[in-house]
Amino acid sequence: MLTGLTLTEARAGLAARKFSARELAQAHLDAIGRLNTTLNAYITVLPEADVLASADAADARYAAGTAGIMDGLPIGVKDLFCTKGVRTTAASKMLADFVPSYESTVTANLLNAGAVFLGKTNLDEFAMGSANINSAFGPTTNPWKRTGDEATALVPGGSSGGSSAAVAAGMALAATGTDTGGSIRQPAAYCGIVGLKPTYGRCSRWGTIAFASSLDQAGPMTRSVADAGLMLEAMAGFDARDSTSSNRPVPEFHKAVGKSVKGLRVGIPAEYRAPGLPAEIVAMWEQGIAWLKAAGCEVVDVSLPHTRYGLTTYYIIAPAECSSNLARYDGVRFGLRKDAPSLDGVYEATRAAGFGQEVRNRILMGTYVLSAGYYDAYYLKAQKVRTLIKRDFENAFENVDVLLTPTAPSAAFAQGENMDDPVQMYLNDIFTVPASMAGVPALSVPVGLNDAGLPLGLQVIGRHFDEETVLSIGGALEAAAGFTHTPSIHAGAGA
């Protein structure tokens, strides 16, 4: 089954000429053709002729012995990365017809490594959301169903929900995501796949549509931990066009998977045992601790005292940066325009018509916390608390090599749940936001199913620029868990 392979398996099959890149691409286009009406994982599917032409070029490179590390591998691209000549919407009406004249650095790196793009995946508008319900192109549906309840549509998580659903359902071997407060890790957990948010600065932000610039970071969403390492190697690297890009060398991340974790110290943060945490999440966490102990890790209790302020701090800093970044959508330079008699009128009409409810609210919140008289009380205060959150991690990492926590406080929920109260929706990110605030790398690994048959993920958090230890620990969890479940909707079902 070509749509069920890992990147690593597909790469080996292509290198051994067991199948061609064209066959691999065609199998995925067929799967998308069958499933996308149901799942809505892609906003834009590339024309078949273009996809097959990329695949043919990859086949030629394999024949010539010049194949790159992602050569011939068909992947989805979150529709937040600008792709030259291919519509890039950010799932917003504002950019419904926007065709960039430039390629983002991350997608250019992937193309240089030989990747074959299948299309642009769905997301929450401008990456703001945790359920992929805030898309102007309609919600993405999770391919997983509760056991015995095929009728209830579940959310795939967000904001990279189209990417996670596509990878889980066999509509791409892997996909790119972006993570501002959990947007790679939480959808990966909800869809039973692997998601890695690298250290802030690992991947260039150039050409990725900005949400909150001090937090946004691109990363891979894959079917195995080794795949996440492989794909990050292709995505990462210094870029002079992003002033926050890191010029450290990019290691061969995938080689960290399978390395012994014996003697590594794993911290269990007391504050993540939130009151009301469901028993199934606690049980999965305990299981993960037992697996790592069995693999020879030393498990240590640690404290991150400012954890409970992570989300509130995030919901000041992220909207503040969002209100500033999204000021560029003015109806003049790109995207939607609504005419009005005055220039201010054009701005107001365009932005009212182009932005959905959640994006509008975040812009307004950000405008408020940055406005005269409130800046010190909200924004400056949040920046100071952010320092304390970062120090919590630095202190913990003096004693341990990684932290182990649940990725999310629940399994995937139904479309329509958690909709009325924004704070309830924001709580989905309670375990992922602190690592974003500190800029440290964090990985979600699927480790089991809950009683309703839905996947659960554990999160491994590491030191700045130490993705390798994170991947080693993730690999140990993956090996112990042996997670091979597939969702009820996937390309192989009924075939």
Partner 1 sequence: MSLDLATTRRIAKLARIGLEENELEATRQKLNGILGWIDQLAEVDVTGVPPMVGTETETLRQREDRVTDGNCRDALLACAPETSGPFYTVPKVVE
CB 72 within 8 A of CB 62: yes
Closest to partner 1 by CB, 61 vs 248, is 248
Strands (E), 208-290: 217-222, 265-269
Q: Residue 472 CB, nearest distance to partner 1 (Å)?
A: 21
How many angstroms separate the CA atoms of 86 and 45, rounded? 10
CA 284 → CA 57, 338, 385, 413, 445, distances in Å?
44, 51, 31, 18, 12
Q: What sign results for the dihedral spanned by CA atoms 117, 123, 125, 130?
A: negative
- Token couple for 317: 């800093």
Cβ 410 to partner 1 shortest distance, Å:
19
Residue whose CB is less far from partner 1, 19 or 238: 238
Least spacing, CB of residue 173 vs partner 1, in Å: 30
Angle at 27 between CA 22 and CA 31, to 5 degrees: 145
Q: How far is the CB of 67 from partner 1 (least distance, A)?
A: 31
Smaller CB separation from partner 1, 61 or 390: 390
Is 236:467 a contact under the CB 8 Å cutoff?
no
Nearest 5°: phi and psi at 176?
-85, 150
Token representation of residue 80: 């937040």
Q: How far, CA to CA in Å, does 33 sit from each of 30, 98, 302?
A: 5, 24, 49
CA distance 98 to 322: 19
Q: How far is the CB of 156 from partner 1 (least distance, A)?
A: 24
Q: Which residue has the tokens 């990456």?
A: 127
Residue type, 70: M
Angle, nearest 10°, between helix axes 21-39 and 161-168?
Answer: 120
Q: How far is CA 57 from the centre of its chain?
A: 28
* Minimum distance from residue 216 beta carbon to partner 1 (Å): 11
Task: Output 255 or 360, the one with its CB closest to partner 1.
Answer: 360
DSSP three-state, residue 280: helix
Residue 319 Cβ, how far from partner 1 at the closest point, in Å? 9
Buried/exposed 243-282: b ≥16 CB within 10 Å, e otherwise: eebbeeebbebbebbeeebeebebbbbebbeeeebeebbe
Residues involved in catalysis: 78, 159, 183
CB of residue 351 to partner 1, shortest distance in Å: 5
Given the DSSP bridges, would you call strands 402-406 and 265-269 parallel, antiparallel or unpaired?
A: parallel
Task: In whole angstroms, give the CA distance from residue 120 to residue 175.
Answer: 9
Nearer to partner 1, 162 or 439 (CB): 439
Whichever of 344 and 398 has its CB closer to partner 1, that residue is: 344
Q: How far is CA 217 from the centre of its chain?
A: 9
CB of 29 to partner 1, least distance (A): 29
List the strands of the sheet with 217-222, edge to edge: 42-45, 116-121, 74-78, 174-179, 217-222, 194-197, 442-449, 455-462, 402-406, 265-269, 298-302
* Between 282 and 423, CB nearer to partner 1: 423
The residue among 6 and 313 lying less far from partner 1, judged by its C-beta, is: 313
Closest CB to partner 1 among residues 301, 339: 339
| Whole-angstrom distance, CA of residue 3 vs CA of residue 171 | 7
Q: What does the radius of gyration of the chain's CA atoms come to, in whole angstroms?
A: 21
